[in-house]
A = this chain, B = another copy of it.
Amino acid sequence: MVYSFGPARCDGNATQKALLGGKGANLADMTSIGLPVPPGFTITTETCAAYEKSGNRMPKGLMKEVAAAIAHLEKETGKRFGDADNPLLVSVRSGAAVSMPGMMDTILNLGLNDSAVVGLAKATGNPRFAYDAYRRLINMYGDVVMGVHHHHFEAAFDAVKKRYHVEADTDVPAEGLEELCESYKQVCLRHVGKAFPQDPLKQIELAIEAVFRSWNKPTAISYRTINGIRGLAGTAVNVQSMVFGNMGEDSGTGVAFTRNPSTGENRFYGEFLVNAQGEDVVAGIRTPRPLSEMARWNAKVSKQLATIRTKLEKHYRDMQDIEFTIERGRLHMLQTRNGKRTGAAAVRIAVEMVKERLIDRRTAMARIPAGDITQLLLPRFDDKAKRSATVVATGLPASPGASCGALAFTADEAVERTLKGEKVLLVRKETSPEDVEGMHHAAGILTSTGGMTSHAAVVARGWGKCCVAGAGALSIDAAKGKIRIGNRTLGRKDVLSIDGSTGEVMLGEVERIVPKKVPADLETVLGWADAAARMKVRANADTPADASRARGFGAVGIGLCRTEHMFFEGERIAAMREMILADSAAEREKALGKLLPFQRKDFVGIFTAMKGCPVTVRLLDPPLHEFVPHDDAAQKDLAKRTGVKVADIRRRIAMLHEQNPMLGHRGCRLAVTYPEILRMQVRAIAEATIACRKKRIDAKPEIMIPLVGTRAELAALRASTLETIDEVRKAKKFAGRLDIPVGTMIEIPRAALTADEVAEVADFFSFGTNDLTQMAFGFSRDDINSFLPDYLKQDLLPKDPFQTLDAGGVGQLVRMACEKGRSTDAKLKLGICGEHGGDPESIGFFEEVGLDYVSCSPFRVPVARLVAGQVAGRVAAK
C-alpha cells in the first residue's frame, strides 16, 4: 500500500501512474533521475478504492506500513517526527492518475504540535516562521479534516490583528502568532468539540483519510463528469517531507512550464513568489513575478532550474509543468507532469519537437488533443472593432479566445442564465473548485486576482475556454451583482468582451471574426494527418460562402448541403408559404415554379465554389410548419399577400401542428405526399449541373434523400428522382452523361436494421447520427435538458450522446448498417454528416467501422482531418 521515494530508496517508477497517481509516479521518477526531490512516500490508489469499498474504513495494516515509511523518512532526512529539536514535517497531497487541478484537499506542515513547534523555532532560528507554520497547519487541518468553517479561523486572526493593531497578516509578530495557535486550537474545540490532535501519526492518519474522502466530494465528482474522467480506482496520497518557500527572502516557490503553455514557444515559462508557500501561487492570492526575473534574485537557482528544464524535456520528451520550492537558497522539485497547453501551444510544440528530433510525426500527431485545435480557429475580435472599443481593464491572457457576455456573479447564476439561453461571462475575484460547473457553462471567465497558473487560468485553458485572469482594476461586489472599474459601475445586464490572448477587457459586445485560414504550424500537422489518413473529411455547408470556408479548411467535398435554409429569404419564403397553403398539386407546382430559379442559382453557386469536389445535396427535410408564420401579424400579412382568408390560413397552420414533429411529417415523407417538391428540387440540381458543366465547371452533385426507413420509400423516390433528371437532360438537350448518384441518410433505426435492402437502391449512405441518436435512445434533443444533467451526475450516461456517439448502442446501428450495406454492395460509399462527424472520439469509431468520409461544420474540418490521421488504421474492436 505504501511506496517510498528518496535518495536512499525509491520503490516506484513513472509507469505506475494508475497505482501511484500522476504526481506520485513522477516524484519517484524524478528521484530516480537524480533531481532534488524532498523524500517521502505514496499510498496507492488501490488503497483509496479499498477504503471506499469497505464503507469508508481505513484498510487493515495501512497505518503499520505508514509508520514504517515515516521511520525510513526520518532516516533519509535526519529529522524526527514531533521532535522538540529538529522535527520532521510533511505535506499530505492527493494525486490521481489524471490531474484534477485544485479538486483534492492538501494539508501542509503535518507533524507540528505544541512541542515540535518549539523545535522548529529552534532549528530555523525563526519563531515567527514556526508559529506561522503551526497556525497554517491548524487552520488547514481544522478546515479539511475536522470540518471547521474557515471563517471561524479568520475571525480569530482578525481578533489577534486588532489586538496588535496591524492590518496585514505579515505584520503580526511571533507572539501574536503563538497566541493565534492557541486561539485556533480553541476554535477547533469549540466548533467541532474535538481537540486538534497532538500526535503526529494521528494527524497523518486523519489527513490520509480526509484525502480518501475528498475523492467523492461533489465538486470532484462533477469535475470528473464534465471532463469525462472514468475508470479510476481512486486517488493516491503523497506524503512528502516539507520544504519551505516562506523561510525568508532567500526562500521562494514557483511553478513553471518547460515551454510556453499558451503559445508553445520554446522558452522557459513560469512564475515565482519570494517568501511564499506553493499554495499561495496556485490560489492566485498574490500576483507572482515572471521566471525571467529569477536570475536577478538568485542566479544559481535560476541556472539549476534551466538545467533541470532541459533534463526533464529530454527525459519525458514532452513539455513539463513543474512545481518547485527554494528553501533558504536550495532548490527542491515538488512535482513534474506533462503540461496542459492550449491548442496552439500543442500544435507548435508538436511541430518543433519533430524538428528537434525529440519525437516522430506519429507521436507528434497523437499528442495533440484534437478537440483543442479548434482554439486556433476560434473567433477573435475584429481589429477594427477592437480599435474603437473601450478597454476598461487589462488582466493576464490566461486562456486564449474572444468572448462576450452579460455579467454573472456566481457559478450557480452562470449555470442558470446559460441554460435559459443567455450568454454570460462568469466574473469572480478568484475561482475555486466549487465554481467549475459555472465556469463550464459560461462563455468566458474573468477574474480580478490570480496569475497565469491560478485555478481559473488552469481550468479554462484545459477546456479551451476564454479567460482573462487577475484584472486588478475590477472591484467585484458579488452580493450586489455589481462591479466597479474606475468610476464606472456595471451590473448583471451589462455586457463585456474579453480577449483571452491579450487580457483586454472591453465594454459592450465587440464584433468578432471567424478565421478562414489554418495557421502554418497546424497546416504542417494537418499535412501529416492527411498523408496518414484513410478517411476523407467533408464539410456540412449550405451556401457558397460556407463552401469556400470549408475548402479553405481543407474539406474535400460537401457531405451535407441542407436545402431548407434556402427557402427563408425574402421572396422565397413567400413562395414557400404559397406552396404550403395550396389546395392542389397544380397550385403547389405553380408556387414551386417560383422557387425553382432561386434553388438553381444557389446550386450553381455552391457547385462553382466546390468545383471538382462532390456536393451531397439533401432534399427538403423539416416539417412544413417550420415555414409558416405563427404570430398574428405575419398571418394577416400572409393573407393579404396570397388572397387566402386569415381563418383558412390559421386552419391550415393548425392542421400542420404535430404532437411530436421530430417523428412526424418530414424528410422523405414530404416527398411521398408532395412528389412535386422533390421534382422541383431535383430539377434545380440537374439544371444547375448542366449550367455549370456547360461553363466547364466540374459540378459533382449527389442527391441525398432524408429520413428513409424502408427500401420501398427509397426505391420509389429514387425512381422519380432519376426520371426527373432524365427529363431535364432531354429538355436541356444535354449530350453528356448526367450521372448524379442518388443515396440516402441512414438516420432511422429501421433503415440501419434493413440496410441490406436499402442498399439495393442506394448509391451511398450518409449517417445522420443526430436523428439516429434521438430515435435509438428515444431522446428528444430539444427536451433532453430536463433530465440529462441528472443522468450525467448519477453516472447513468458517460457523456452527452449528442456530442459523442454512443458507440455501445447507437454505434451498433451504424456498424450494422455498414456491414449490411456492404454485404449488398461491397463498394457502397459510406459517410456521416451528423454532429458527431466533428467529434474526435466519434471519428475514431467511424474509422473502426470503415466509413469513407466524415462530414462536419467547416470550423471542425481541421479537427476531423487531424483525428482521421491519428486514428488511421485503427482496427474494429467488436
Q: Which residues of A contact B (CB under 8 A)?
A: 658-665, 669, 672-673, 707, 709-710, 712-713, 716, 747-750, 753-754, 757, 771, 774-780, 782-783, 786-787, 790-791, 794-797, 806, 808-810, 812-813
Bound-state CA distance A506–B74 (Å) is 106
If A662-B780, A672-B794, A749-B813 are given as contacts, then 17 extra A-B residue pairs at C-beta distance below 8 Å, sorted by A number, are: A660-B660, A660-B780, A661-B783, A662-B663, A663-B780, A663-B783, A664-B780, A664-B786, A665-B783, A665-B787, A672-B791, A707-B778, A749-B778, A753-B776, A757-B808, A775-B775, A775-B776
Q: Is the CB of B660 within 8 A of A809?
A: no
Check B710–A796 contact: CB distance below 8 A. Answer: yes
Q: Are A783 and B672 in contact (CB under 8 A)?
A: no
Contact yes or no, B796 A775, CB < 8 A = no
Closest to A656 in B: B786
Chain B residues within an 8 Å CB radius of A782: 658-660
Chain B: minimal CB distance from A79 (Å): 49
Q: Is the CB of A659 within 8 A of B659?
A: no
Q: Is the CB of A750 within 8 A of B806?
A: yes
Let me know if A778 and B778 touch, CB within 8 A.
no
Other-chain residue from B709, B771, B797, B808 in contact with A809 (beta carbon distance below 8 A): B709
| Residues of chain B contacted by A778 (CB below 8 angstroms) | 662-663, 707, 709, 747-750, 771, 775
| Given A754-B808, A809-B754: A660 in contact with B790 (beta carbons within 8 A) | no
Interface centre among A716, A753, A808 (most CB of B within 10 A): A753
* Complex Cα–Cα for A665 and B780 (A): 9
Please measure, in the bound complex, the distance between the C-alpha atom of A775 and the C-alpha atom of B771, giving whole angstroms: 10
Q: How many subunits of this chain does the assembly comprise? A: 2
The answer on a CB contact under 8 Å between A663 and B664 is no
Quick check: A780 and B750 within 8 Å, CB to CB? no
Give bound CA distance, A115 to B422, whole Å: 93
A716 CB contact (under 8 Å) in B663, B771, B796? B796
Question: Nearest Cβ in chain B — how far from A651, in angstroms?
Answer: 12
Known contacts A707-B778, A749-B813, A775-B749; A797 and B754 CB within 8 A of each other: no
Contact residue among B660, B673, B777, B810 (Cβ-Cβ distance under 8 Å from A783): B660
Q: How far is the CB of A344 from chain B (nearest CB, A)?
A: 37
Residues of B with C-beta under 8 A to A780: 658-664
Which residue from chain B places its CB closest to the CB of A713 in the assembled complex?
B796
Query: Which among A659, A660, A783, A794 has the greatest number of chain B C-beta atoms within 10 A?
Result: A660
Q: How far is the CB of A665 from chain B (nearest CB, A)?
A: 4
13 A-B pairs (CB sep. < 8 Å): A659-B780, A659-B783, A662-B663, A662-B778, A672-B796, A709-B777, A710-B796, A716-B794, A748-B777, A748-B778, A749-B776, A749-B777, A750-B777
Query: Contact: A750 with B712, CB < 8 Å?
Result: no
Distance A746 CA – B631 CA, assembled complex (angstroms): 41
Q: A813 and B748: CB pair below 8 A?
A: no
B-chain residues with CB within 8 Å of residue A662 when the two chains form the complex: 659-660, 663, 778, 780
Please measure, in the bound complex, the distance between the C-alpha atom of A673 and the C-alpha atom of B792, giving whole angstroms. 11
Contacts of A771 in B (CB 8 A): 778
In this complex, the member of A710, A748, A750 whose beta carbon has the largest number of chain B beta carbons within 10 angstroms is A750
A710 to B794 CA separation, bound complex (whole angstroms): 13
A53–B249 CA distance with the chains assembled, in angstroms = 100
Instruction: Give the residues in chain B near A673, CB-CB below 8 Å.
Output: 786-787, 790
Q: Which chain B residues border A664 with CB–CB below 8 Å?
A: 780, 783, 786
**Smallest CB gap from A748: residue in B:** B778
Closest to A809 in B: B750
Which of B660, B713, B794, B809 touches A663 (beta carbons < 8 Å)? Answer: B660
A715 nearest CB across to chain B (Å):
9
A775–B749 Cα gap in the complex (Å)?
A: 7
Asked if A712 and B797 sit within 8 Å, CB to CB, the answer is: yes
Q: How far is the CA of A669 from the CA of B716 in the complex (A)?
A: 39
Query: Which of chain B's residues have a CB closer than 8 A to the CB of A783?
Result: 658-661, 663-665
Taking a contact as CB atoms under 8 Å apart, the answer to whether A774 and B709 are in contact is no
A812 to B816, CA, bound (A): 12
Give the distance to chain B from A786, nearest Cβ to Cβ, in Å.
4
For A779, give the chain B residue with the smallest CB separation: B663
Chain B neighbourhood of A661, CB < 8 A? 659-660, 780, 783
Interface pairs A-B: 4 shortest CB-CB:
A663-B780, A660-B780, A659-B782, A750-B809
**Nearest chain-B residue to A658 (Cβ)?**
B783
Q: Are B775 and A809 closer than 8 Å at their CB atoms? A: no
